[in-house]
Amino acid sequence: MSEQDRIVGTLLGMAAGDALGAGYEFDDSPPRGEVAMIGGGLGDFAPGEWTDDTSMAVCIAEETATGTVDLDAIGDRFLDWQRSDPADIGISTGHVLRQASSGRDLPSVAAAYFASHPEGAAGNGALMRTAPVALAHLDDDAAIAGAARAVAELTHADPLAGDSCVLWCIAIDRAIRQERLDGVRDGVAYLPELRRPFWSDALTQAEQRSPRSFTPNGFTVTALQAAYAAILQTPMPDGDPARHLQDVLIEAVRIGNDTDTVAAIAGMVLGARWGAAAVPPTWRDMLHGWPGLRATDLERLAILTADAGGASGN
């Protein structure tokens, strides 16, 4: 597959995981039978409709597709989405967005929320949307790390939230450029030195423990562990990348709890590794969501973002 196919796959894989998990989010018991894009869930979504995870990623991608990572503009687009009365929105994200009058306000509002809610400001709401940041800075680790943290801090000031975005964006870069699924390990070097042992231990746990042990997973650390564990520990059936992507996303949903977000996070790296061609055509045809986009629009945003950032697309 081409590098461009892997670039496109990053956003398609994210949206596919998101829409697949939407109908099972926070169910009392994780699904054990067939997993499909059934819709419903917390936002009564239509089958194939993505949730806040992909909608917020679209806000970022619309800006990165122009060749910039203007934080104020991304923040303004977050507020446009929030004011559209979305069917579902995370607790801390919703609080921060409702308190801001413009995108420029968001970092200070997020910092104030963290100061008053130190135990509740490291949700997975920044990690779930981070894929376009990686596409905008491929092959530039320092730029990836800086932008990932800055975009995270628009709504999530807890350093762990920023850390998780740095790690996962580096993982996406490695999946696209080096065709690896374990690139998250490379990201540890771009974290503050004091937190590197914590994250190294967290990744080791994900490499060794069952994916289904990482629940509840609204916490950004546990969400990353759940997605990473599902990716590494779901076997590749007969060397078939498409089956691997599908099987991992289904396993991510079966972990339970924040099903759409864990599957969306996993889908970013899976799509970046296996490419758009690995996303089943039936899923691809069903994908849609705010602001009236479909899979082809995600493809366009991914290509424009990577081209603006200087990716070769070879």
pLDDT tens digits for range 91-129: 999 999 999 999 999 999 999 999 999 888 899 999 999
Confidence of residue 33 (pLDDT cuts 50, 70, 90): confident
In this prediction the pTM is 0.96
- Torsions phi, psi for 294 (to 5 deg): -130, -175
Confidence of residue 306 (pLDDT cuts 50, 70, 90): very high
As given in the structure block, the two tokens for residue 101 are 């009058």
Question: Residue 155 has what DSSP assignment?
Answer: T
The 10s digit of each residue's pLDDT in 199-230 is 999 999 999 999 999 999 999 999 999 999 99
CB-based contacts of 54, cutoff 8 Å, min separation 6: 11, 14, 15, 18, 19, 129, 264, 289, 298
- pLDDT of 313 over the 70 cut: no
Q: What is the mean pLDDT of the chain?
A: 95
Q: What is the mean pLDDT of residues 1-16?
A: 96
CA distance linking residue 10 with residue 216, whole number of Å = 25
The share of the chain scoring above pLDDT 90, in percent, equals 90
The share of the chain scoring above pLDDT 70, in percent, equals 99
Choices 3.40.50.2300, 1.10.443.10, 1.10.4080.10, 2.40.160.40: CATH for 3-308? 1.10.4080.10
- pLDDT of 314 over the 70 cut: no
Q: Can you give the pLDDT at residue 312?
A: 41
Higher pLDDT, 241 or 169: 169
Query: Are 74 and 63 within 8 A, CB to CB?
Result: yes
The 10s digit of each residue's pLDDT in 62-93 is 999 999 889 999 999 999 999 999 999 999 99
Query: Are 284 and 245 within 8 A, CB to CB?
Result: no
HEC letters along 261-276: HHHHHHHHHHHHHHCH
Boundaries of every domain in the chain: 3-308
The 10s digit of each residue's pLDDT in 284-295 is 999 999 999 999
